[in-house]
Structure 1
Amino acid sequence: MMAKIPGTQSLPPVLEPRTGTPSPRLAENEFRRRFLSRFQDPVFSGLRSELDKIAAAAWDAYSNERKAPNTRKAGTAFKDPDYDLSVDWLAARDAIYAAQERHSDRRGPARILLISGSSRSEHTCPGEMSKSYRLTRIAQETIDQTAGVKTSILELHRLTSEYGRTIHPCKACFSTSPALCHWPCSCYPNYSLGQVDDWMNDIYPMWVEAHGIMIVTPVNWYQVSSPVKLMMDRLVCADGGNPDPTLTQGKDAKLAKALELQGWDYPRHLAGRLFSVIVHGDVEGAENVRRSLSDWLCYMHLEPAGPLAEMDRYIGYWKPYALSHQELDADEAVQEEVRNAARTLVEAVMLKRAGKLVSAGGELPAPRQK
């Protein structure tokens, strides 16, 4: 993919990573306090000796920074076949490759991914489902009326209500160099820091296999919801990220900088998929959130399905929040607009798979990348 990687000894000083932020490393007593603080339930009181042993093992992993303790040789599919790659990362890569095969299978169904972006759910503190979920189900019911289409729903509210569901924040490797941002993300899991149960390894294949993607999100403080933003940030590796961690010997920032300056090709791993965006708000921000989502998706070289597939609406504008679901019940126009957005997305996907949807300018080389 790239020219020969120079050795670290020959790299110029200008590539030296900038450092100087305070160390986040903990002393053992503070580490143990934080580790054991999650076992507050009295049911654990009879297990203190066992927990002390587990805490000691966890401290050993932490102090020795064993991020990925289980590895195997990369093999001939990679630039450096002898490099030890995390088995977790390899499994995530295999899942993405299998998803791409499903996406490329002309005999398979048209695949639509519906994303319910609110963090609200009756299974946690709010005690009530979200309007985003209801709108997502309206879209699903509409899409499921078309033969040859398979829908999947990604319920991001599970981040707040389901045990072990986490999307860890992006560590911004891309800002050091795109070559350092691996596809799929290799920052997680990090066992030594307890950064585990990362949901993105399941979410990446859902995006990859899809031919069409619909995001339904509320406006939260003039922005998308927290779960949607976490997912967005972690998808940066899908847009120019490095599919071969051995090129950078894992997370060698200096090597990554050199690779970028040799000429990075910015592989667009999700390019060509079609999208729909539904944004609903209460008082402010709906248009700006819809526009920012659409701009983000277009920037990743996904394609808008059509004007009717993108909408921003207020449901119960300046009405009591307690009555928001009743406002949605009464707003049959919004419900029908969501159905039309779903129909538009399906139609565009069908036309593209049949080779009848022309994306003007799609083959033109971009003079700039990212």
Structure 2
Amino acid sequence: MSDLPTVRRGQMPQMLDREAFGQRFRGRFQDPAFAPEGAAIARLEEIAWHGYQGGRKAPRTHPAGPGHADPSYALSDDWRDASERLKSAQARWADAATPSRVLVVVGSSRNDGTCPGEMSKSFRLATLAGEALTRDGVEWDLLDLSRLASEPDLHIHPCKGCASTAMPLCHWPCSCYPNHGNGQVNDWMNDIYERWVSAHGVLLVTPVYWYQAASPLKLMIDRLVCADGGNPDPTSTGGKDAARAKAIERDGWHYPKHLAGRAYGVVVHGDVAGIEGVRRSLSDWLDWMGLVEAGPQARLDRFIGYYEPYWNSHDTLDADEALQAEVRNAAQAVAATVAQLRSGAHLPPDRDLRRPRPK
């Protein structure tokens, strides 16, 4: 490919030296119970150090094979497995014979297995929504993002912003992780991608933390950027070749919307301020990705104990039967929209309009 665009460089920090790397590696083994295995840990550290130095991001690969832009490209086994799972999930989603399924996402960081020692109100609201879906004969899948705060070595690693260099550099599913050389493993997103793709509808239930969505939800949102315009063939960009990706976008990119056509609802709750802004931003994000809003009652923002103490906020929720009913309504609205979309009765009025400025 000739006339490749310029790639700006010079920001990358220096790699860790041997001592700093060792300190990071050994940080996982500070419990005195590991002391008898010090020699074994040192051997593993040395192996990890060589992997870091050598940039062994994807140590297990095979030629991509037919159906790829470059069949000879050494494609990551991790990525190939994730991609095949998404293709299977998309086929199930499109099959009219499969039961309708709604993904209910809990955006809170809190559960009773974490430091607070108490479940979140978001979890309770999500459970109410799930019970309403069950009564409507709809399967539901609870994605509780608070597991990031309570389970060992479960991560949603941060988005690296590949799309801001060039959209084709952002692969679907994300190919940035796992990065074995950097020890960036146990990334939850491949499972989460599959659950989003499998769903005919999505209901987000989240608290407001400091005028924003909670950090687990924001991590997931950022990593879903590849669902909106992401490149399903990493071989076309030679993996992470930024110049090639820039050239592909320059010459014309079609910005595929991999999650379009699913219904959505949003439930945002808070105690002082910020609920409307978070509800609006989440709705705008889902609209942008091509999901279909399930009506005004499926876009809910409510206070639980406005300017009241935290200690009895669950009691306040117990007493707010109207809010409980509104959450059930939001779930039922999503279920009804799913049924209409799957039957062809719901046709978004702008479905045939072409975006003059796709992105």
Whether the aligned pair in 1 keeps the contact of 2:261 and 2:341 (CA below 8 Å) is: no
1:180 to 169, 176, 189: 169
What displacement does 1:22 show?
4.3
For 1:11, the equivalent position in structure 2 comes to 3
Query: Relative to structure 1, is the Cα distance of residues 108 and 174 closer, same or farther in structure 2, using a 3 angstrom cutoff?
Result: same
TM-score, normalization: structure 2?
A: 0.99
1:282-338: per-residue Cα shift (whole Å, max 9, x none)? Answer: 100000100000000001111101111110000011110001100000000000000
Q: Which amino acid aligns with 1:71?
A: T
Question: Quick check: 2:168–2:246 contact (8 Å CA) kept in 1?
Answer: yes
Q: CA deviation at 1:30?
A: 1.1
Tell me, yes or no, if structure 1 residue 349 matches structure 2 residue 338: yes
Q: Which residue of 1 aligns with 2:310?
A: 321
- Counting only pairs closer than 5 Å after superposition, residues 1-370 of structure 1 correspond to structure 2 as 6=1, 10-12=2-4, 15-147=5-137, 149-370=138-359
1:8-39 per-residue CA deviation (whole Å, 9 max, x = no partner) reads xx224xx1211111424011111111111210
| 1:218 alignment partner, SS class | strand
CA distance in 1, matches of 2:168, 2:211: 32
CA RMSD in angstroms, aligned pairs only: 0.8
What is the alpha-carbon distance in structure 2 between the residues aligned to residue 43 and residue 25 of structure 1?
Answer: 31
Cα distance between partner residues in 2 of 1:273 and 1:368: 23
1:276 maps to amino acid: G
Between stretches 66-75 and 21-30, larger displacement belongs to 21-30
- For residues 200 and 12 of structure 2, the distance between their equivalents in structure 1, rounded to whole angstroms, comes to 44
Q: Deviations for 1:51-88, whole angstroms, at most 9, x for unmatched residues?
A: 11111100010011100000011010211111001000
Q: Deviations over 1:252-285 (max 9, x none)?
A: 0000000000000000001111100000001000
Q: What one-letter code is carried by the residue in structure 2 that aligns with 1:124?
A: T
Where structure 2 has 5 or more consecutive residues not aligned to the other structure, the ranges are none
User: Partner letter of residue 75 of structure 1?
Assistant: G
Counterparts of 2:12 and 2:342 in 1: how far apart (Å)? 52
The aligned amino acid for 1:171 is K
Give the aligned length: 359
Q: Distance in 1 between matches of 2:260 and 2:225?
A: 13
Q: State the SS of the aligned residue for 2:29.
A: coil
| 1:3 match | none
Q: Distance in 1 between matches of 2:330 and 2:22?
A: 52
Structure 1 moving runs of 4+ over 6 Å: none
Unaligned runs of 5+ in 1: 1-5
